[in-house]
Amino acid sequence: AQSVTQLDSQVPVFEEAPVELRCNYSSSVSVYLFWYVQYPNQGLQLLLKYLSGSTLVKGINGFEAEFNKSQTSFHLRKPSVHISDTAEYFCAVSDPYNQGVKLIFGQGTELSVKP
Amino acid sequence: ETGVTQTPRHLVMGMTNKKSLKCEQHLGHNAMYWYKQSAKKPLELMFVYSLEERVENNSVPSRFSPECPNSSHLFLHLHTLQPEDSALYLCASSQEPEREQFFGPGTRLTVL
């Protein structure tokens, strides 16, 4: 069965610094990959997704992620973070060829941006 | 209204009460989901409905009872809950089960 590991539960970073949030998934023939952001007391919002094509995916709020099939990773990056990026970030994976499968979520990474 | 809406946003109930959470999606999607999100715990998938049929029930206690009367509406009926059921309950929808899900803002439930 698919699984997702977010390697860091908390990432503190200073404002305007770059950040990388790591995500690894268990191997599969092909996968769809997603990153979501959750601000306090809100639902999850889709940041970006990889379905096929270019391995570098650009999303909202200046975030991007790179699909690396050989390393089974989909790390999220932003070159310069803002205070407003403070939130919980979730990586998710699905297997489009596995009937009935839905999204499998990682445990989340709490990004804390300090002034 | 656009996207996925949930009502109420906050709910406080006693252990003997009966209440219902409502979710509505305005996206024309075919699948809907209930998740439980407790503090410091991963998202827990509770129920999945695809084309109004329940396709998954992840060992959820019977005090939680879902209902999907049509493809746009999803309910979660609650009765005789326990304090450990206090959590944020999130509804989501998607076009197909393997595609991206769109989430509502959640209902913050407190059981006294």
Contacts of A44 in chain B (CB under 8 A): 90, 92, 101, 103
Residue B103 is nearest to which of A43, A102, A108, comparing CB atoms?
A: A43
- Please write down the long-range contacts of A15-19, taking CB distance under 8 Å and 24 or more positions apart: A15/A81, A15/A82, A15/A83, A15/A113, A15/A114, A15/A115, A16/A80, A16/A81, A16/A82, A17/A80, A17/A81, A18/A77, A18/A78, A18/A79, A18/A80, A18/A81, A19/A77, A19/A78, A19/A81, A19/A85, A19/A111
Residue B55 is nearest to which of A41, A100, A105, comparing CB atoms?
A: A100
pLDDT for the residue numbered B51: 78
pLDDT for the residue numbered B68: 93
Instruction: Determine which of B101, B102, B108, B109 to mutate to test the interface with A (most A C-beta atoms within 10 Å).
Output: B101
The answer, for A101 touching chain B at a CB cutoff of 8 Å, is yes
The answer, for A107 touching chain B at a CB cutoff of 8 Å, is yes
pLDDT tens for each residue of B30-84: 899 999 999 878 888 899 888 777 777 778 999 999 999 998 999 999 999 999 9
Lowest mean pLDDT among A43-57, A60-74, A75-89, B40-54: B40-54
Residue B98 is nearest to which of A90, A101, A107, comparing CB atoms?
A: A101
Interatomic CA distance for residues B112 and B106, integer angstroms: 19
Interface of A with B in 11-50 (CB under 8 A): 32, 34, 36, 41-46, 49
Could you tell me which residues come within 8 angstroms of residue B45 by beta carbon, excluding any fewer than 6 positions away? Answer: A102, B33, B34, B35, B56, B58
A43 has pLDDT over 80: yes
pLDDT tens for each residue of B11-37: 999 888 899 999 999 999 989 999 999
Instruction: Determine which of A103, A104, A107, A109 to mutate to test the interface with B (most B C-beta atoms within 10 Å).
Output: A103
Nearest CA in chain A to B96: A102
Nearest CA in chain A to B95: A102
Tokens at residue B61, please? 């206690």
Residue A41 is nearest to which of B33, B45, B108, comparing CB atoms?
A: B108
